[in-house]
Amino acid sequence: MSKHTVFIADDFDLTETMDGISEKLRAMDIEVIRGPQTIKGTKLQYQPEDYERLFGKAEVAMFSSRSICSREMIEYAPNLIGIVNPTIGVDTVDVKAANEKGIIIGNGACPENYIEMAEATVMLMLMLMYDPNRSAELVKKNLPKPVESQHWAHMMWKKTVGLVGFGRIARCVAERLQGWDMNILTFDPYLTEKDVPSYVKLCSFEDLLRQSDIVSLHTIVTDETRGMMSTEQFRMMKPTAYFINDSRGQLVDEDALCEALEKKWIAGAALDTFMREPLPADSPLRKFDNLFLTPHIVGHALDCILSLPDVAVQNICNILNGELPTYCVNPQIKDKWLARRAELMK
């Protein structure tokens, strides 16, 4: 039997990870085809004239959030049986097209990945409520302590947290907050009361926005969720409330957020993801003192980064061996996938 072939995309933000995955596969005598270089600030679109060279032999293809796995590419690739992303998000993959073709999808939804993001989200909540950077600045600049009425920190105790979406990360956030004597709300149109823990209340999106002291996004990008936080939604929030997005930048209308901060519709926000990454130097988001910004790295704990190559390689090997990836996005198409695999192996 001829040796397997796997396509590995480039990712300017995951260079060591993609290189490590490639090295591990080559050590298993698997042919690796590397993708063209990605460029900061854009998502790579593969050109049809390159399909044969890149995807003509590939049985498994690995992409990331910085390169697009389109329907056209999926429909072209004659030997493709699996798609893998090293991280959790698969928003750059046309999942519907993959399902239709019987192509299984794996991702990096290992415990390290979603637990790190849950911990980071709780940290952002505390950063917004307590603003330790402002406290540290007093020492750094040798400034006097504020008088009692000038203190700025607020307790999380008795506050209401609204989690938009209730997947792995949001569940982990709720688990970590359940002992803090807080009200935890969630909006997820695909769940019912029996799907959420007793300490979490399922409610409408509008009620969540109106009642929450902290609103945190934990959903994927779809036609339904793209731009879901815009002017109308920010106007619903309390003027004392904070907003967090460490999920995907496409969920937020950034112009509307700037207006909300400028007109004090909300008290502040924290963003780890943006419409365009890296965040342009002239972005109006940079001018706000009540906006905490990190470059899509806030939850990237070293523990997780070191686990990604092994998880990805295991997913790829499982697919090549006719087993579901350890972390599978679309297990419902297993029978269709096995049929496609069997047909291609004839």
HEC readout, 83-130:
EECCCCCCCCECHHHHHHHCCEEECCCCHHHHHHHHHHHHHHHHHHHH
Length of the chain: 346
Sign for the CA dihedral angle at 191, 193, 197, 203 comes to: positive
The one catalytic residue among 171, 296, 300, 341 = 296
Catalytic, 248? Answer yes
The one catalytic residue among 4, 66, 248, 341 = 248
The one catalytic residue among 59, 277, 300, 341 = 277
What is the rounded CA–CA span in Å between residue 234 and residue 243?
A: 9
How wide is the angle at C-alpha 268 spanned by C-alphas 240 and 217, nearest 5°? 95
> Locate tokens 């969630």: which residue?
186
Contact 162, 187 (CB under 8 A): yes
Q: Kindly give the residue spans of alpha helices, DSSP state H, lying in the chain.
A: 15-27, 51-55, 71-76, 95-101, 111-130, 132-140, 168-177, 205-211, 231-236, 254-262, 302-320, 334-345
Contact 89, 65 (CB under 8 A): yes
List all residues 6 or more positions away from 275 whose beta carbon is below 8 Å from its beta carbon. Answer: 249, 250, 252, 254
Contact 179, 155 (CB under 8 A): no
Catalytic, 154? Answer no
Contact 288, 271 (CB under 8 A): no
Q: Which residues are catalytic?
A: 248, 277, 296
